[in-house]
Chain A
Amino acid sequence: MNSTVNTHYPLAKGRRKIKWGRVTPYLFIFPWLFGLFAFTLGPLLFSLVVSFFDWPIVGQSHFIGFGNYIEMFTADPLFWTSLEVTVRFAALFVPLNLIIALGLAMLLHHNRRGKAFFRTVFYLPSVISGVALAMIWAWVYSGEYGILNYFLSLLGIQGPDWLNSSTWAPVSIVIASLWGQGTMMLIFLAGLKNIPQELFEAASIDGAGSVHKFLRITLPMLSPTLLFNLIMTIISAFQQLTLSLVLTGGGPLHKTYFYAMYTYENAFKYSRMGYSAANAWFMFIIVLVLTLLVFKSSSAWVYYEGEVKKNKGA
């Protein structure tokens, strides 16, 4: 590209131009290249190194090999507790989040009037800060004065003291998280919009009912969107921290002591940077493996329109 332009310049200037031409692209992407080493890859590798050290915030650090990892698995009950809390949360939150986001998106999609209004209402909670969200829910959940228990009392149910109950505190965090599902709903909505209407019309002519249409057209056509949302929800479920930090502080009885909180506290409360780095790397590997498993399984259930099935035809 540059060579055609350079013919307009005298030779000497042209030579300088060519040199610049090679460097220019790197100058444009330099900010990111620098940031990559300073704030992403550098820290990533460094944290791997740190995870093999006993490394306090202040004081001498020393190499302990796999010590941190061994301690995690064999001598730290909180590791298992927090892992269990997180897995339980994910098992409840991931499917519920997908179902609610898809349900709302389908309600919106099949509606003609007031679509923009309802869409805004369902998206609104995703715009505010996690701390603000937690503050609002802390008051909604109040055992004595909260509106949640008021609504329940209308149905004749005596509500629990949500955030102080070891049974209900984890559920409280799930419910508050579901309130902020708006982004996922928007993505589903866009996916629904991309399904060709003719498919439904053809199915109607063939006499298909709505359940049949949902299972045979909507779900398969939506499966790439579903895959994306599934992965994003899994990642966010394993990183959940703000809500538990502000709403429950990990209590009661460690029932909302999420893995991210465990990692955070090991670093900044107990000043064990190396141990915390080991925690973080273990989580990284779990999320990576889960993501890969979902991707691997996706060939069985994700349908891409342009894809040619090899075993068919011939």
Chain B
Amino acid sequence: MRRSLNYFLLIMFSILFLAPFFWMVTTALKSIDELYLFPPKWIPSKLHFDNFIDAWKSQPFHIYLKNSLTVTIMTMLGQLISSSLVAYGFARFQFKGKDFLFILLLATMMIPWEVTMIPLYMEFNWLGWINSLKTLIVPSWFGAPFFIFLMRQFIMTIPLELEEAARIDGANRLQIFTRLIIPLMAPVLILVGVFQFLNSWNDYLGPLIFLNDQSNYTLTLGLALFRGVYGVDMRGVMAVTALICLPPLAIFFAAQRHIVGGIASTGIKG
């Protein structure tokens, strides 16, 4: 009895959570006549896949896609390289001021984006970077506290004996790091890569503040703008929305175990 109540609730909640996605996809596949029906028609009588092509072509979405991909890939690379270097530094060295710096690193996670948004804008403006993808990419090459923390915790679990053996064989610190530690870090690198992918791909405020020329727009900005232009016909809006959701969903399903385990063990989303 209790078990079936549990199932009943889970299924009801699942419907609530999935219905908006389902509504998005069926809307994207409708003909214009079926779009504005009430009560709504759940399954279109004919599936209009050409809606996707029409919507995509109605705006320079291929340029937005290129920008989104550039930012996403470059920030992933940046985070993986810089955060792992810093994490190794904190995990394996004793140095003056280490404890203080590490606490500082954790503390900076608490700073709300509003406070640094304005001076960052002024700084990028002074550097002449406003309206360039650099504003979104460059900071990621200097590590993110949360990723550094995550990687440091992981490196601490790698046995020190491995490194000592390599050192006796004459390897220097950088060689130990690149040839020994990095390959061992694969699980946490995947986790950070996925988090950074989702962050960059889904980011809206960054591009909104730092980019103003349409040729530099990312997909999320393009979508927000698109709604205003195309607002009357929800098919197009839903088609593009569905396309933009696709990569994060695909990444999520591919790396589900790492993501779920990662969030559960650390407690924070990147």
Contact = CB atoms under 8 A, between A and B. Distances in A.
Nearest to A189: B264
Interface in B26-63: 27, 35-40
B220 A190 contact: no
Nearest to A260: B114
Contact of A118 (B14, B101, B104, B123): B14
Contacts of B189: none
B108 A41 contact: yes
B223 A131 contact: yes
A75 interface: no
Nearest to B142: A35
> How many interface residues does chain A have, given as a range?
35 or more
Interface string A45-77: 011001000000100000000000000000000
Nearest to A115: B10
Interface in B235-268: 237-238, 241, 244-245, 248-249, 251-252, 256, 260, 263-265, 267-268
A263 B115 CA distance: 10
Contacts of A312: none
Contact of B13 (A104, A139, A241, A268): A104
A91 interface: no
Contacts of B260: 119, 123, 186
Contacts of A104: 13
A189 B117 CA distance: 34
Contacts of A156: none
Contacts of A39: 116, 120, 139, 142
Contacts of B98: 25
Nearest to A154: B39
A66 to B, nearest CB: 18
B18 interface: yes
B211 to A, nearest CB: 12
Nearest to A34: B142
A171 interface: no
A126 interface: yes
B186 interface: no
A276 B118 contact: yes
B237 A139 contact: yes
Q: How large is the interface on B (under 10, 10 to 19, 20 to 34, 35 or more residues)?
A: 35 or more
A122 B9 CA distance: 13
A163 interface: no
A221 interface: no
Nearest to B9: A107
B141 to A, nearest CB: 7
A288 B115 CA distance: 13
Interface in A288-310: 288, 291
B146 to A, nearest CB: 12
Nearest to A281: B115
Contacts of A118: 10, 13-14
Interface string B195-208: 00010011111001
Given A28-B88, A127-B252, A228-B267, A122 B142 contact: no
Contacts of B90: 29
Interface stretch (A144-152, A200-208, A212-220): A144-152
Interface string B169-183: 000010001000000
A129 interface: yes
B143 A35 contact: yes
Contacts of B6: 107, 110-111
Given A130-B204, A131-B220, A44 B269 contact: no
A280 interface: yes
Given A119-B260, A235-B112, A28 B252 contact: no
B85 interface: yes
B19 interface: yes
B148 interface: yes
A129 B245 contact: yes
A40 B104 CA distance: 11
A260 B114 CA distance: 7
A27 B269 CA distance: 28
A242 B98 CA distance: 37
Given A39-B116, A121-B17, A242-B204, A267 B223 contact: no
Contacts of A34: 142
A234 to B, nearest CB: 11
A193 B260 CA distance: 14
A95 interface: no
Contacts of B256: 120
Given A130-B202, A131-B244, A147-B19, 19 more contacts: A32-B82, A38-B142, A44-B119, A47-B115, A57-B125, A104-B13, A111-B10, A124-B249, A129-B202, A132-B223, A138-B227, A142-B234, A147-B23, A153-B39, A186-B264, A239-B113, A241-B205, A283-B114, A287-B112
22 contacts: A28-B89, A35-B82, A43-B115, A43-B119, A47-B116, A120-B256, A121-B13, A121-B17, A123-B260, A128-B244, A129-B203, A131-B220, A131-B244, A132-B202, A132-B241, A136-B24, A183-B263, A190-B265, A228-B267, A239-B112, A260-B114, A273-B118
Top 3 A-B residue pairs of the complex, sorted by shortest distance between their CB atoms? A35-B142, A28-B89, A25-B93
